[in-house]
Amino acid sequence: MVEIADIEDEKSLREWLVTRSREGAVWIATRAAMRVLPLYWEWAFTGRERKDDLTPLPFLRCVLISSVAAVRPTENIRSAAASAYAVDANASAGDASAYAACAAVGAANDAAYAADIDAAAILAAAASHAAAAAYAVANDAWIATRTDCAYLESGWMSASPALWPDRDNPIAATWLGVKNRATEPEWAFWITWYQDALAGVKPDWNQLERIALIDRAIWEAGPKAVAAEIDKIKK
């Protein structure tokens, strides 16, 4: 039997997750994806390989829905998770920042898909993708995942602890760069949402569930359309 202290890679995490609830495993996978979210976000804004119309919105949607699926596993949320696949970044594996972006998208995809099926292997792969995205600080990522496993085992999942609970954020500079670039009003909600997750602020799950269930056509209309709908929900 794998103990939390033994979790160091995809295989050991998968073995530990097998006996845990699907919701708990989705929570672990989603938090792993969220830790590296700034890597993709930065690349979407500045990556040399990106398409002109590439936006971080599909990835943000994917991770938000997965986070709600962990605590509100309703049929509507599971259906939303099944359809919330982030776009493929199509980045060159030879470009370090682009590779990190692709791995982060893979983590979000895995977490969203796992909210709709029972598969410890897919969930463990999400954490592995996230560690690959943050390859420069992969050890920190696995330490944080082990801490999350301890939270889960202690029944603290609903407490929404800080994303890097026992250490400084090792990609803080990347996150600062994202905040400095994402100054348009349509990104205001997402900046606050992620900053709160970093700090361990307990989410308003009712509000996030409504945002997660925004009609797919609105998501596909782009960041401004989604921001307008979020403003309606928040009023």
Which pTM value belongs to this model? Answer: 0.89
The HSE-up count of residue 99 (CA atoms within 13 Å, CB side) is 9
- pLDDT for 125 equals 82
CA distances from 177 to 5, 33, 102, 109, 221 (A): 34, 19, 19, 24, 26
CA distances from 169 to 27, 51, 61, 117, 141 (A): 19, 29, 22, 31, 10
- pLDDT for 182 equals 93
Round to whole Å and give the CA distance between 177 and 193. Answer: 16
State the virtual CA torsion across 143, 202, 103, 168 in degrees, nearest 10: -40
- pLDDT for 86 equals 62
Q: Which long-range contacts (CB under 8 A, 24 or more apart) does 142-149 make?
A: 142/7, 142/8, 142/9, 143/167, 144/31, 144/32, 144/35, 145/7, 145/13, 145/28, 145/31, 145/32, 146/4, 146/5, 146/7, 148/27, 148/28, 148/31, 148/32, 149/4, 149/7, 149/13, 149/16, 149/28
- Domain ranges across the chain: 4-234
- pLDDT for 6 equals 94
Look up residue 4 and give its DSSP letter.
Answer: G
Tens of pLDDT, residue by residue, the chain (235 residues): 899 999 998 899 989 988 888 888 888 888 988 998 898 888 888 754 455 567 889 889 988 998 998 888 888 887 887 777 665 555 555 566 666 767 777 777 677 777 766 667 877 888 888 777 777 778 888 999 999 999 998 887 767 899 998 888 999 999 999 999 999 999 999 999 999 999 999 999 999 999 999 999 999 999 999 999 999 999 8
The answer to whether the beta carbons of residues 85 and 109 sit under 8 Å apart is yes
